[in-house]
Each structure stands twice: as C-alpha cells, then as structure tokens.
Amino acid sequence: MKKYALVTGGSRGIGRAVSVQLASQGYCVLINYKSNQREAQKTLDIIIENGGEGLLMPFDVADAKEINITLETWIEQNKEAYIEVLVNNAGIRKDNLLFWMTDEEWNDVLNTSLNGAFYITRLLVKYMMNKKFGRIINIVSISGVNGMAGQTNYSAAKAGIIGLTKALALESAKKKVTVNAVAPGFIETDMTKDLNQEELKKLVPAGRFGKAEEVAELVGFLASEKASYITGQVITISGGL
Ligand code: NDP
C-alpha cells in the first residue's frame, strides 16, 4: 500500500529538503504551501526527477476551516490511504522587540507556527492512532528552547509546540505514534537570507550555517521505523550553538 507523508511549508527551504528526503524513503509526499505554487512545483519536480511521488496540497496552516476542508476532502477521496507521517514545518518570523510588537506581529506568528500545528495534528493524529502507527515531527527552533531577543512571538510559538510535542507524545505512545521536535539553529534558507551570515556564523561552534538537507536527514530518521523508541524529545541541530 502506498505510504503518505504531509509536509507543511514544503515549497521552500527546510520543507523542500524534508519532502525530497521522505520521497526518497518511499513516501508519496503531500507538499503543502501557502501561495508560492512555482516553488512548490519545483519541489515536486525534484521528487519526480529522483523517481519519487508527490502532489501539491495548498492551504493556509493558520486557517482551521481551510485545513479541515482540504484534508477531509482528500481523506474522503482516498479512503485506502492514510497519512502516516506529518511534518509540521510551515513557519514565519516577524521580529520586533516586545515593547514595539504589534498585535498583528504577535498573532500572525502564533497563528501560523503554533495554531497551524495544532489544527493539522488534531485532524491527523486520530487516524494514526487508529492504524497504530504514526510519526509527527515538529520543526521548532533553538529560539523556542533558549529564547532569542527580538523574537518573543517566535520563541513563544516554538516553545508552545515543544509543550504540545511532549504532552501529545504521552497521549499517543501506546498507539505507536511518536511525536518529536527538531530544533535547528541557523539554516541557510529564505528565512535567514536577511541575516548577516558572516557575523552570525562566528557564534556557531561549527563555524557555519547548516543546510536544509542536514535537517532533512534527521527528520527522515525520526520518520523511520528505526526511531520507534524515540518520542517526546526535542533534538537540536545547530552546529553546537
Ligand atoms: P522558509 O521561509 O524558507 O519557508 C517557509 C515555508 O513555510 C514556505 O514553504 C512557505 O510557503 C510556508 N508557509 C509559511 N506560512 C504558511 C502558511 N500560513 N501556510 C502554509 N505554508 C506556509 O522557511 P525555512 O525553511 O527556513 O523554515 C522552515 C521551518 O523551520 C520554520 O518553521 C522555521 O521556523 C524553522 N526554522 C528555521 C530556521 C532557519 O534558520 N532557517 C532555524 C530554526 C527553525 P510559501 O512558499 O507558499 O510562502
């Protein structure tokens, strides 16, 4: 039977690398994105070029209604299939110091990064528990583990997902559904292209930014059968930062 994986924010950066990795592990990848269809198609093209399978699934992760309609329709039309791997990767940054932070900056980041993961996970985890196998991997950040000045919204969202990860792992372990978080440091993607890489890499013991493919390898391992006894964990991938 065909195995399915859903990667949110699969059109670019870490989500693209994760989509390509999971396709190489035999998954038909549902590539979610918000608006960038051209980039999402590029992810799909790479998967197909490598002999894998996937399809595009646009929706806004911050919109519970749109998620329910899109995913429930897909599930209804694909009764035999079930999504056994979910990677909650979609995320945005809107940095500001707390005393200047607007409601919009706060809410946009929380709605996308934290609420989005809640809406999708709530919908899919029940199928995974029914089938007695599932993998949920949440892409968080060292900003959510340690806190980062200028990112109270982002740190709060990522710390919130870490809490969700640990609590849901306890709810789902007996049903063989593992729930883990991956916390990257600085990774070279569109999200970090406005940062001063030359300066910031001096802070990283490994002396460089990471690559999306390096994060994808870790996600691929957590998604595999080999990682069955790892759950409720936050695994940092940051070159020692
Ligand atoms: P990018 O900015 O490169 O890509 C973001 C992706 O998220 C895009 O695919 C985008 O879709 C999608 N997305 C954004 N908002 C929504 C939404 N509302 N609904 C659906 N999809 C959405 O980000 P990265 O690859 O760098 O980051 C991926 C994850 O990794 C994020 O959660 C980020 O917080 C985390 N992370 C990144 C780090 C880094 O250094 N890069 C460090 C630590 C964590 P579209 O193309 O349509 O806009």
Q: Where are the domains of the chain?
A: 3-237
How is domain 3-237 classified at the architecture level of CATH?
3-Layer(aba) Sandwich (3.40)
Q: For residue range 34-50, what is the model confidence (pLDDT) as tens digits?
A: 999 999 999 999 999 99
- Tell me, what's the pLDDT at 1? 78
The ligand 1 atom at the shortest distance from the C-alpha of residue 88 is: 32
Output the CA–CA distances (angstroms, integers) from residue 124 to 73, 85, 132, 167, in the order listed: 13, 9, 12, 16
Nearest to 16 by CA among 35, 44, 38: 44
- Two tokens at 87? 């990677």
- Tell me, what's the pLDDT at 228? 98
pLDDT exceeds cutoff 90 at 80: no
Percent of the chain residues past pLDDT 70, beyond the cut: 100
**HEC letters along the chain:** CCEEEEECCCCCHHHHHHHHHHHHCCEEEEECCCCCHHHHHHHHHHHHHCCCEEEECCCCCCCHHHHHHHHHHHHHHCCCCCEEEEEECCCCCCCECHHHCCHHHHHHHHHHHHHHHHHHHHHHHHHHHHHCCEEEEEECCHHHHHCCCCEHHHHHHHHHHHHHHHHHHHHHHHHCEEEEEEEECCECCHHHCCCCHHHHHHHCCCCCCECHHHHHHHHHHHHCHHHCCCCCCEEEECCCC
d(CA 68, CA 120): 8
Q: For residue range 17-32, what is the model confidence (pLDDT) as tens digits?
A: 999 999 999 999 999 9
- Tell me, what's the pLDDT at 223? 98
- Two tokens at 27? 């998954």
Ligand 1 centroid – CA 7 distance (Å): 11
From 33, 82, 119, 154, the catalytic residue: 154
Q: What is the mean pLDDT of the segment spanning 185-214?
A: 96
Q: How confident is the model at residue 2 (pLDDT cuts 50, 70, 90)?
A: confident
- Tell me, what's the pLDDT at 195? 92
Q: For residue range 104-155, what is the model confidence (pLDDT) as tens digits?
A: 999 999 999 999 999 999 999 999 999 999 999 999 999 999 999 999 999 9
For a mutational test of ligand 1's pocket, the pick from 8, 14, 29, i.e. the residue with the most ligand atoms closer than 8 A to its C-beta, is 14
The ligand 1 atom at the shortest distance from the C-alpha of residue 34 is: 47
86 - beta bridge partners? Answer: 6, 136
d(CA 109, CA 154): 6
Catalytic residue check, 154: yes
